[in-house]
Structure 1
Amino acid sequence: MDQKENLHFVGNQILLILFVILLALIIFAIGLMVGYGVIGDGSNIWAILSPEKWQELIGKFTGK
């Protein structure tokens, strides 16, 4: 019974960690969209989440 309780505890902790990571990613994405839409050009807040925009940004920083 003790091993089952330990496994349940570990499972709960892993779920909590995954929830916190997911929440952090969502908050990060919202922050990117607000920053890009308000501080940036503001044309399309969803554009910051596209791979093309990230390739453009990385290219600006790396010079490629």
Structure 2
Amino acid sequence: MNSGWKYVRNQLAFLLLLALLGLVFLALGLMIGYSFIGEGKDPLSVLSWDKWQSIINKFTGK
């Protein structure tokens, strides 16, 4: 019975690791894309809330 819970725990840990790696690679891709294609000033600025708010406002017309 205990081995069943161990398997579930390992699978959940694996999914959590995959989600975390996905977020890290998404952030890296955004930073690289923003620095080459975008304004190219500060790659970390694409991760700021103000930048995303301006991007959302451009698409929604606000």
TM-score by length of 2: 0.98
The equivalent of 1:13 in structure 2 is 11
**Whose radius of gyration is greater, 1 or 2?**
1
Figure out how many residues of one structure are paired with residues of the other and give that number.
62
Cα RMSD after superposing both structures: 0.4
Q: How does 1:20-35 map to 2 (within 5 A)?
A: 20-35=18-33
The equivalent of 1:58 in structure 2 is 56
Q: CA deviation at 1:41?
A: 1.0
Q: Name segments (4+ residues, structure 1) moved above 2 Å.
A: none
- Residue ranges of structure 2 left out of the alignment (5+ in a row): none
Give the aligned residue type for 1:10.
Answer: V
The equivalent of 1:41 in structure 2 is 39
TM-score by length of 1: 0.95
- Residue ranges of structure 1 left out of the alignment (5+ in a row): none
Looking at structure 1, the residues matched to 51 and 40 of structure 2 have their Cα atoms a distance apart, in angstroms, of: 14
Query: What percentage of residue pairs aligned between the two structures are identical?
Result: 44
Looking at structure 2, the residues matched to 40 and 52 of structure 1 have their Cα atoms a distance apart, in angstroms, of: 15
Give the aligned residue type for 1:38.
Answer: F
